[in-house]
Amino acid sequence: MEPQLLRLSDPAGRRLLATAATGSGLVFLDGTVANVALPRIGRELRADVAGLQWVVNGYTLALAALILVGGSLGDRLGRKRMFAWGTAGFAAASVLVALAPSIELLVAARILQGVAAALLTPGSLALLQASFHPDDRMKAIGAWTGMLGIATASGPVLGGWLVGIDWRIAFWINVPVAAIVLWLARTAPESRDAEAGGRIDLAGAIVAPIALGGITLALTDWPSRTATAAAVVGMVAAGAFVMVERRVEHPMTPPTLFTNREFTVINLVTLFVYAALAGSMFFLAVFLQISAGWSPLEAGAATVPVSVLMLFLASWFGGYATRNGARPPMVAGCLVLAAGLVLLALAPDRPNYLLHILPGVLLQGLGLSMLVAPLTGTVLAAAPASRSGVASGINNAVSRTAGLLAIAALPLMVGLTGEQYRVPHLVADAYRAATWWCAGWVLVGAVLTVVGLRRPRPRR
């Protein structure tokens, strides 16, 4: 079925944009709330660093491993349908998270949230890519990125306030937001890939979680015997995944997509940038509460300027990239983002917000505003329109996997283990070391962009 092409100036186009942004915002909101809630969860459920890592990584693991399946199902069965199913499932899993009596059951509920998010997330961008006129796609993605700033900005503040009362209430908020998304999605246009086969890559869907789960468990529990065994299983499964995707008739990660240079380069940039973003946000939330002694509300509100800047600037940079190419704003965005992380890494144990945190946060917001919309638009444009669901799923899987591996690896890399996250000066030292690592990863993204993307051809 050929989807109707919408324009941003049309009421139907604006409604679709609101639907996609609110649905994705649901996932972003939950992520920010989870980071702010970690210290309270640790105290109430008596969890160590590994337990807190799995509160984040259990969710991210399921999302990263299955998001390709979600994109593939959307291409075959309907992107709007998968988007709606994922939204409803996310709300149901959020109820289980809010009711969890132990860290083990909480992690299990977070894994179910990740499964639902794997259906919701690729459908959001795929709906925009398949439904909007080519002249409006990059701008719509920029507006989508900016509108996510509303959820991301409200998440730390609202989440921090609710966590200060009871962290469980912070997850109940997902239920009414999901109801709004389902109501908005009623009139969204349906789209699918008419050439997609009916069979799903079950082998890939089984091997991918084993690979990611094994590697993540190894990084989280290293250097135990269990970690060694998990690393072996993860690496073998990763190799098997590559072989499976080359041989099956309908792979969920089509190798042919990676023959496109821009598609491959942008996904590598995504890997480094989103690893830095997830790792730095994880450590910043813990540092501000444990070392600086801030409340959950104060720690959550500290990053609000990032979202505000993206709300107002991301769409403009999306339009700029359409006219002048994605390379200039992406390189500049990486450099500005890295500078912001360097400033944050210089913060003392007891930082002053205006002097030590706000300047770095502002540069983060400006850098992400310049970077995210061109990155996302370019990776989708590099794939055929009929494969937008798969392309969106691959890029989302890369970004989620990057965050998963960063949060699993960084505590090990900076020597923060066991109960050490309760010791303020140890957390401060680990935070600074981790943030320097993150700044370096962003600079790698800048180098890849310069080397790998073609020089822009300005459009008049």
- As averages over each run of 10 residues, the pLDDT of the chain (460 residues) reads 61 77 78 76 79 79 76 76 89 90 89 88 73 72 68 66 78 86 79 63 78 74 73 86 80 76 87 91 88 83 82 78 82 94 93 92 92 80 68 75 82 76 82 94 93 64
46's torsion region: left (phi>0), alpha (psi -120 to 50) or beta? left
| Confidence at residue 93, expressed as pLDDT on a 0 to 100 scale | 92
| Confidence at residue 1, expressed as pLDDT on a 0 to 100 scale | 43
Best CA proximity match to 29, nearest among 179, 118, 157, 123: 157
CA distances 95 to 24, 131, 373, Å, are: 18, 32, 32
